A and B are shown apart, each in its own frame.
Chain A
Amino acid sequence: MPILQAKQITKYFHEPETVQVLKGVDISVEQGEFLSIVGKSGCGKSTLLYILSTMDTDYEGTLNIKGEKLNGWSQNQLARFRNENLGFVFQFHFLLPEFTALRNVMMPALKLGKYSYAEIEQRAIDKLRMVEMDGFAHKMASKLSGGQQQRVAIARALINDPAIIMGDEPTGNLDKVNSQRVFEIFQELARQNHQTIITVTHDQDFAAGSDRIIVMSDGQIVRE
């Protein structure tokens, strides 16, 4: 049973004029898989990823994650589902600038409320150590470099041990060294923790290193 299964995903944008961006995409991902989605700019990769992430609910088709059929869920139900099961890494690091790195990482776990405060803090430090950012735990997010912020964002995506980690060009703003490091972290998560990774990327090396590559063109999957 695949951990994520999407069938016949179709999406239109109506502004400024109606365009069909996704044309019946079928995608199925197994647990522990490290998947890359590539394709020309504007072909609909990000659009697809945000539908898979449950944040965009305005589409046709069905979406199943961890055996749950997510169509028709309310925004609040989906928010809780994301909180527990999905982790995100964005192209622009998107940390809360007024909080420390540690606080940023802790935030989704505090929201989930599954562990005590002390446990959450310890787990957050562990995740930061994993991305080699534990030395910066108490620094303000806004005072970190782009690469550092991206690694903190990855630690945040991992804090609730989500089944799936999604990234929209997570290395898009990073140099070669930092990109390589992010790649290694993702690979380790997939190999050792059996967490599923789905990333959209333009980085040839990054994609080449992953388990599976999906190539998109004009709203369709053209090659697996």
Chain B
Amino acid sequence: MKRSLTLEIALTHLLTKRKQTVVAMLGVTFGISMFLVMISFMTGVNDFTKNLAMEEAPDIRIYNPLEIEKNTIIAKAAPDTTGNLYVVHHQRPKNVVPKLRNAIMLAQSLEAMPEVKGVAPQVATQVFFNNGPIRITGSLQGIDVKKQGELFTLARKMDAGQLIDLLGINDGVILGYGLANKMNVGIGDRLSITTSEGSILMLRVVGIFSYGLADFDNARAYATLATVQKVMQRDPSFITDLHIKMYDNSQAKAMAATISKRFGVHAEDWSTANAPLLAGESIRFAMTGIISFTLLLVAGFGIYNIMNMNIINKLKDIAILKATGFESRQIVGIFLWQSAIIGLLGGIVGLLLGYGFCVALSHTPFPGGSVVRIATMPVNFNPQHYIMGFCFGVITTVLAGFFPSLKAAKVDPVQIIRG
């Protein structure tokens, strides 16, 4: 009974000051809806880029990196002449063969590990793609078609043709969308490639893929392992990369270390290889956080002001209520209810409005140009964001209303009643 009495008084105050109530509500509404739009769009962009890079990227990549030998040959040759100082100027990298030793055996041992979902061997090389006078550099990746199809998304990213078409003919190739455009070739057309060693091979286009990322689509092509080994004039045991997919990719970093140690190979995990991408993500998150916080803070200050004004206007009422026996906590209750109601209503409308904005945004064409190819803005619809925004909004409003309410409870009725 008593609680509903404070609620009733609160509601009456809100309803008689409708304009002011709506203005206060709009502050919350605006804060929450903008917060939702910001965070949904930001995480949408994050997820989009991350997925693009992540789906196709291996969790762990094993390859032979190009490294400068740290110890000079002289030091190796005479290890016990301690105290000697060797200086070698302008040391050249030694000719590292990109070949992974015992790659097939290694792949089998890796696949036997319980955390590993699968291992796809690759032969990657830089080539020129030629069509008439056009010469474009790019990378040609020889893949195990079956493994690649199972572990990675390539099969689903085909604009034209199919991944398995590579198996149908000799010397087929699948080109990136941008690359095919620049070369002006389509399915069934032929083009030649030249390796850095100078060997040439004619390939027939059997498919065109598009990940939506210019880095990949403009400069990459896939063929079978055998085709690439042939153009490089290598034997079938020649493998340059092992691409590992794990069941749980959060374990990749630890796993990469284990593999390096156990097999004595260079294993690099996804987060190391894509550090800049992840850094960009955390910066975007920090920005979203700061802006959202500011929005809610501004809404909070708005409510603080409005509640303060409200209480100054209601000094007489407060004095009457206290004189007729209302206790401090009930006075606090009356004004706290008001800000809670403003927060709840403003929050609900904010959620709806924010959702509306997000839907509209997700239908807005994305001006990605040639860098990323997606039709519309990437927007994330995560219920957690809505819960978070609503809670933040209501908490901010209630806090903003709390301090003015305490002030109301401290009003001395005598001063006001005597005038």
Contact = CB atoms under 8 A, between A and B. Distances in A.
B326 interface: yes
Contact of B12 (A53, A99, A110, A156): A99
Interface string A81-102: 1111000101010111111000
A110 B418 contact: no
Interface in A61-97: 75-76, 79-84, 88, 90, 92, 94-97
Interface of B: 1-2, 5, 9, 12-13, 16, 316-317, 319-330, 413-414, 417-419
Contacts of B316: 94
Interface in A100-132: 107-108, 110-113, 117
Given A99-B12, A110-B1, A111-B2, A94 B325 contact: no
Nearest to B322: A79
15 contacts: A50-B414, A50-B417, A55-B414, A79-B326, A79-B327, A82-B325, A88-B323, A94-B320, A96-B317, A98-B12, A110-B2, A111-B325, A111-B326, A113-B1, A168-B417
Contact of B324 (A56, A111, A117): A111
A46 interface: yes
Contacts of A76: 327-329
A10 to B, nearest CB: 17
A103 to B, nearest CB: 8
Contacts of A111: 2, 5, 324-326, 330
A94 B319 contact: yes
Interface residues of A, number: 31
Nearest to B16: A98
A97 B315 CA distance: 12
B328 A108 contact: no
B324 to A, nearest CB: 4
B1 A108 contact: no
Contact of A80 (B9, B16, B325, B417): B325
Contacts of A80: 325, 327
B417 to A, nearest CB: 6
Contacts of A98: 12-13, 16
Contacts of B321: 96, 107
A129 B9 CA distance: 25
Nearest to A76: B327
A107 B324 contact: yes
B325 A79 contact: yes
A117 B4 CA distance: 12
A95 B324 CA distance: 11
A217 B13 CA distance: 43
Contacts of A94: 316, 319-320, 417
Nearest to A110: B5
Given A55-B414, A79-B325, A113 B16 contact: no
